[in-house]
Chains A and B, each alone.
Chain A
Amino acid sequence: MVTLDLAEMPVRKLNETLRGFGATHQNAEIINPDAKHYIGVGLISPILVRVRGSAGYYCGGLCDGPEFQVDKNASWGVGDNLLRGSIVVGGNASAIAGVGMRGGEIVVKGNIGSRAGQVMKKGTLCCAGYASFMAGYMMYGGRVIILGNSGERVGEDMMGGEIYIGGAVDSLGNDAMLVDPSSTEVESVMTFLDRYDLPFRGTLKKIVCTGKTLRYGTAEPRLRKPPFYSFSSGARHDYWNAKVLEDIRVKAHIGRYRIRGYGTSRHLPHFSDISFKKDMNDAGQNPEVISKVNLRTFIGENHGGRPLDLSMPVMIAPMSYGALSPQMKIALGIASRLSGISENSGEGGMLSSERAEARQMIAQCLAGRLGWNVHDMKRADCVEIYISQGAKPGLGGQLMAEKLTREIAAVRGIPEGMDLRSPSRHPDILGGDDLIMKVEEFREATGWRVPISIKMGAGRIRDDIKIALKDGIDFIELDGMQGGTGAAGSEVAEYVGIPTIAGLQEALDGLEELECAGRMPIVLMGGIKDGVDAAKAIALGATAVAFGSTMLIAAGCITCMQCSVGSCVIGAATQDPEHTKRFDVEKRALQIHRFLEAVRWQLAAIVHEHGYTDVRQLSRNDLVALTPEAAALTRLPYAPNRG
């Protein structure tokens, strides 16, 4: 055992040393830890690490394999997302111990803070003392053992797994119930306790999920919905139009909000209300135009990570494996490689075959930590923290039972067959200060190698972008109200959020207020439909744009907006093999690639027509607003005759 002194070295150096030790199976003892944060984060070797004192935030976080022994206390999030291995805390552990753990064992000999085991999936979290409120909050699986008393609302909104309690239960959480444990279960718990020398003589109570709220009640009737364009234009007219009538009738049947795919269908001020000052009619006459301008864009190098290297300022927007079929995800991966841009995992884990196809892959981390794990982080080119999205800012994702198949559930680490409603806020990011802690944890886990971005729905963006800047985020993906989704309440998709151009302007204004214009790259998305929109977005101040719905349509989507139902006719947004077998991966990938090349052509033509040689020369001085609304939102000069 080698001794490392944290009074002598920073934690970053300690973690680098530990990773080196891991490679050579060398155990380590850490002295003078003084409750410092991120001790051992991202370790993936089965070595023993003894912490001679107290550990700070995320001790043993994002690990696979090591054995940690902490002599005294551990702060928030001990064993965050643990895959395998064990952590024994001799004293108390603070809030969200074992958050999102996916295996292994965590034992706390003292008391444990609130929300222990939040969104955990597998493994055992054991507390020998008292557990504060909401232990097992939103847990999907695994086992929580509390030998002392438990605080309020234990098992709140749990969806799977088991909680055993030796002491008194203050109160049960929503959808949780007390049952008698079987003798095998008790025996299994006692064996576990013996292994960790935890004496217990009382009687165990068991708490499980009642399952009453795992599925929506009455199913929404299958309707032959009109495609997006007639759905949205119909709504612009009469009061009792077809869309409104259908809505009322369906709600009269199901008695709750409806769910659909896509974003708002209302008419909102958008890039079509903005024009270039210069006449673009002759743009693109020159067939050599792509070779004449520089579109290559690096993004995310602000904090020493290796930036994404995009052949043009374009990304593919985050869309999950689960919402989309594996075939569609692979097609996106291929297209992103062919066009030299980046693909994004979205919620719910990384599909290995897609990772292999994509040259640059962003791993997205969501509140439910579905599919999240250290190995995908390590093989990603960028780590993204999802805060919210444009179609449903402030709300979590939804995946209906029809799409939550065994395969998808396994990747996400959760039970199959429920109407999955992902949490809307992160267990460990409850404010800007917590976000700093999370970002640092991710930097430690990836060895400070990759950029860290956040995805944000346009809401309170003027303030939020300032927080992102102060928290050391490398870039933000900003999603306006026109952005799509695989499933959202229809009112939310329709009415919540702010338009994409307004979101961008507010973000830019926020940076301006801090005198930090240009210091936070913004990747804009939300209803961006071609290279012309992209050029306008970049001229207005975005660094790049991302395409989501556009990619699906390029791959053959018929815009029926029934993405949530799970029977997508082209096999893009379904997990049903009957439908996915129609999806020709190679053909669809080439369609997407050709579309992206059309975007490149348009971007290059517009840049060239302005007499520029670099896409970054486009500026807001090149733009005018065609409508009073767009002028008001962007403060561009109002020039209605330029259209």
Chain B
Amino acid sequence: MCSIAGILFKNGKRPNLGMTTGEALTEMMDACRHRGPDSAGWAIYKEPREGRLRLRFFIDRGEGQKGDMARIREGLARQGAKIVEDEALGCTYGATVEYSGDVQQFSYALERVGQLVSVGSSLDIIKDVGQPRGLQQLYGIGRFDGSHGIGHTRLATETGVHPETAHPFWATGFADVATVHNGQITNYWIMRRRLERRGMEFRTENDTELIAVYLAYKMSRGVLLEDALRSSLDDLDGTFSYLVSTKDSIGYAKDKLAAKPMVKYEDDELIAIASEEVALNRLFPGRALDTTEPPPLTCGLWSMQSTA
């Protein structure tokens, strides 16, 4: 029950859009904020650095903050991760660490010391209760000017309004994979139990987390993301338009009833996807755009031609 947005610059470089990538995502989300007034979130992809991981945790906004941070720092040290830089931001704690071991084991272990939002060489997920423009200010999203990212505004239906139930969801244990989703997965519990029997873990009862974990599980079994997207069309039941992002691509899948909208604009330089065309026009005010709607029961994956 939400809106989704995604933008990807095909050659990794940003053309002259008159706004940063972060601002572009925020504007698209703001245009659709009526679809989701409760919370907003971004999955943005920053420059990767050799041997380093970006981590983000939820921490207490108030008195518990210092304790949360100390516990996380201690946990990182225990796991052999050396903190290069870190800071508390809103309800989160972000850290860049030197770490080169297995990400899944690392992140499952870190879950004991703090609530992970995202892990990746370039992925950084920012999400909180509130509206896109206000949160952009608070979290400095406007400064992000990378190659791609996805965003989401949420209208909470079945789960509560908290930062941790906001989108995007990180595919727990899998670096650099995030999802946003508009719709409702109706076979949630069947799919969740199936994945739990295979050792996957869930942090919320949000159906979008299920999509992320589903895709991540498939990929962990050696399935290509594109094939995982395709099999999700059969395996997931309900209404959905969702986006998945990796460090160099954005993919989508749309259910067979096409009950949730999704519109795409593409030119030589960029691909932008949003729930409503009004969001795409925020990038190009005053222009009548050649847009297309991905057909029902389809999926796709757009990759950067070359990463800068």
B259-A430 in contact (CB<8A): yes
A71 to B288 alpha-carbon distance, docked (Å):
8
Contacts of A547 in B (CB 8 A): none
A433-B182 in contact (CB<8A): yes
Dominant SS at the A interface?
loop
A92 to B264 alpha-carbon distance, docked (Å):
13
A470/B37 contact (C-beta < 8 A), A54-B289, A431-B260 known: yes
Binds B, one of A33-41, A497-505, A553-561, A620-628: A33-41
A431/B277 contact (C-beta < 8 A), A75-B261, A95-B258 known: no
A431-B157 in contact (CB<8A): yes
B1-A54 in contact (CB<8A): no
A54/B184 contact (C-beta < 8 A), A95-B261, A132-B258 known: no
A71 to B292 alpha-carbon distance, docked (Å):
16
List residues 4-62 of chain A with CB under 8 A from any CB of chain B. Answer: 7, 31-32, 34-37, 52-54, 56-57
A470-B155 in contact (CB<8A): yes
Give chain A nearest CB distance to B283 CB in angstroms.
10
A431/B278 contact (C-beta < 8 A), A113-B258, A467-B157, A470-B38 known: no
B277-A433 in contact (CB<8A): no
In the assembled complex, B301 has its CB within 8 A of some CB on chain A? no
Contacts of B3 in A (CB 8 A): 433
A37 partner, pick from B155, B161, B278, B285, beta carbons under 8 A: B278
Contacts of A52 in B (CB 8 A): 288
Contacts of A57 in B (CB 8 A): 276
B157-A463 in contact (CB<8A): yes
Give chain B nearest CB distance to A312 CB in angstroms.
35
Output the nearest chain B residue to A51 by Cβ-Cβ distance: B288
Output the nearest chain B residue to A6 by Cβ-Cβ distance: B286
Give chain B nearest CB distance to A119 CB in angstroms.
16
A151 to B256 alpha-carbon distance, docked (Å):
12
B287-A53 in contact (CB<8A): yes
Contacts of B160 in A (CB 8 A): 513
List residues 159-187 of chain A with CB under 8 A from any CB of chain B. Answer: none
Output the nearest chain B residue to A462 by Cβ-Cβ distance: B158
B38-A133 in contact (CB<8A): no
Give chain A nearest CB distance to B184 CB in angstroms.
7
B291-A431 in contact (CB<8A): no
In the assembled complex, A76 has its CB within 8 A of some CB on chain B? yes
Give chain A nearest CB distance to B156 CB in angstroms.
7
A132-B295 in contact (CB<8A): yes
Contacts of A35 in B (CB 8 A): 276-278, 280-281, 289
CB-defined interface of B139-178 with A at 8 Å, one 1/0 digit per residue?
0000000000000000111101100000000000000000
A431 partner, pick from B1, B156, B285, B295, beta carbons under 8 A: B1
Give chain B nearest CB distance to A641 CB in angstroms.
40
Contacts of A36 in B (CB 8 A): 278
In the assembled complex, B2 has its CB within 8 A of some CB on chain A? yes
In the assembled complex, A91 has its CB within 8 A of some CB on chain B? yes
In the assembled complex, A437 has its CB within 8 A of some CB on chain B? yes
A114 to B293 alpha-carbon distance, docked (Å):
10
In the assembled complex, B296 has its CB within 8 A of some CB on chain A? yes
A7 partner, pick from B156, B286, B295, beta carbons under 8 A: B286
A432-B1 in contact (CB<8A): yes
A56-B157 in contact (CB<8A): no
Contacts of B278 in A (CB 8 A): 34-37, 56, 75
In the assembled complex, A466 has its CB within 8 A of some CB on chain B? yes
In the assembled complex, B271 has its CB within 8 A of some CB on chain A? no
In the assembled complex, B35 has its CB within 8 A of some CB on chain A? yes
A467 partner, pick from B1, B182, B296, beta carbons under 8 A: B1
Give chain A nearest CB distance to B135 CB in angstroms.
18
CB-defined interface of B264-283 with A at 8 Å, one 1/0 digit per residue?
00000000000111101110
A72-B2 in contact (CB<8A): no
List residues 62-93 of chain A with CB under 8 A from any CB of chain B. Answer: 71-73, 75-76, 91-92
List residues 291-308 of chain B with CB under 8 A from any CB of chain A. Answer: 291-293, 295-296
A614 to B210 alpha-carbon distance, docked (Å):
51
B183-A72 in contact (CB<8A): no
Give chain A nearest CB distance to B33 CB in angstroms.
10
A372 to B291 alpha-carbon distance, docked (Å):
32
B2-A433 in contact (CB<8A): yes
A433/B239 contact (C-beta < 8 A), A35-B280, A467-B155 known: no
Contacts of B281 in A (CB 8 A): 34-35, 54
List residues 85-112 of chain B with CB under 8 A from any CB of chain A. Answer: none
In the assembled complex, A436 has its CB within 8 A of some CB on chain B? yes
Q: List 28 A-B contacts (CB under 8 A).
A: A7-B285, A34-B278, A34-B281, A34-B285, A35-B278, A37-B278, A52-B288, A54-B291, A56-B278, A57-B276, A73-B288, A75-B261, A75-B263, A91-B288, A94-B261, A114-B296, A132-B258, A132-B293, A430-B239, A430-B260, A431-B1, A431-B157, A431-B239, A433-B35, A467-B1, A467-B155, A467-B157, A513-B160
**Top 3 nearest A-B pairs by Cβ distance?**
A72-B288, A35-B277, A34-B281
On B, residues with C-beta under 8 Å from A are 1-3, 34-38, 155-158, 160-161, 182-184, 239, 257-261, 263, 275-278, 280-282, 285-293, 295-296
On A, residues with C-beta under 8 Å from B are 7, 31-32, 34-37, 52-54, 56-57, 71-73, 75-76, 91-92, 94-95, 113-114, 132-133, 151, 430-433, 436-437, 440, 463, 466-467, 470-471, 513-514
Not counting A133-B296, A430-B239, a sample of 15 additional A-B residue pairs whose C-beta atoms are within 8 angstroms of each other reads: A32-B285, A32-B286, A35-B276, A53-B288, A54-B277, A54-B281, A75-B277, A92-B293, A94-B263, A113-B293, A430-B260, A432-B1, A436-B155, A467-B157, A470-B156
